[in-house]
């Protein structure tokens, strides 16, 4: 029994991820997830206590991959610190031009569940963004920038702003604008120290 259980559970999470991200949380029924996973609903409820728990599992599964991707983009970029930060936005713009792109799953979930402030999924989303911010702060701090914390917050604002704006207008060029703004702020902060 070492494998089959995890495979079923992971299959359910996979199906839930695709559906929740593509359609939204409340637009997707538990039945739909079960069917997409090739499993009966009762089996789904064997592995997850409730839909809420399934939502949480969906976001938890996206936490690390997302962070890894951002770091990869940053590390792979050439140029100074500002250019490396801007590279994140440029890569994101490329991703956002894919037809299946539907914004940031964490933000969309928090928008949809805004009436349930303590919901586990929202806590997971908040923690995810905090990790990203903390990583940026460390990067800035190591680069000798004075108020690294404040600059990291501003990057996060531009990043999440670009998620929201690009989703609304379906115009990925906003992400490049965000990248330019981010680079400007980094350069100002680097000079000012």
DSSP 63-88: HHHHHHHHHHHHHH--SSHHHHHHHH
Dist CA 102 CA 169 (whole Å): 11
Residue 51 binds: one of a copy of itself, DNA, none (C-beta under 5 to 8 A by kind): DNA
Closer residue to DNA (CB): 61 or 161 = 61
Q: Give, to the nearest 10 degrees, the angle between helix 148-169 and helix 105-112.
A: 80
Residues numbered 172-191 forming contacts with a copy of itself, rule: CB under 8 A = 174, 177-178, 180-181, 184-185, 188
Q: In residues, how long is the chain?
A: 193
CA distances from 69 to 25, 32, 75, 141, 169 (A): 24, 29, 10, 21, 24
Closer residue to a copy of itself (CB): 39 or 104 = 104
Residue 193 binds: one of a copy of itself, DNA, none (C-beta under 5 to 8 A by kind): none
Smallest separation, CB 108 to DNA (Å): 16
Dist CA 63 CA 178 (whole Å): 22
Closer residue to DNA (CB): 40 or 68 = 40
What residues make contact with a copy of itself under the rule CB under 8 A? 22-24, 26-27, 102-103, 106-108, 110-115, 117, 122, 125-126, 129-130, 150, 153-154, 156-165, 167-170, 174, 177-178, 180-181, 184-185, 188
């Amino acid at each position: 029994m070492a494998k089959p259980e995890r495979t079923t559970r992971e299959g359910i999470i996979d199906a839930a991820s695709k559906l929740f991200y593509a359609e939204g949380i409340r637009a997707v029924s538990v039945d739909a997830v079960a069917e997409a996973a090739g499993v009966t609903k009762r089996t789904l409820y064997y592995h997850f206590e409730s839909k809420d728990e399934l939502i949480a599992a969906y976001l938890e599964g996206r936490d690390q991959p997302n962070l890894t991707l951002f770091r990869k983009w940053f590390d792979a970029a050439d140029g100074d610190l500002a250019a490396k930060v801007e590279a994140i936005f440029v890569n994101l713009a490329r991703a956002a031009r894919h037809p299946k792109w539907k914004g940031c799953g964490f933000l969309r979930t928090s928008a949809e569940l805004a009436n349930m402030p303590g919901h586990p999924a929202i806590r997971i989303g908040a923690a995810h963004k905090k990790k990203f911010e903390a990583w940026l702060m460390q990067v800035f701090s190591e680069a000798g920038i004075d108020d690294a914390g404040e600059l990291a917050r501003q990057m996060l604002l531009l990043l999440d702003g670009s998620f929201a704006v690009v989703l609304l207008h379906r115009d990925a060029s906003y992400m490049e604008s965000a990248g330019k703004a981010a680079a400007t702020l980094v350069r100002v902060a680097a000079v000012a120290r």
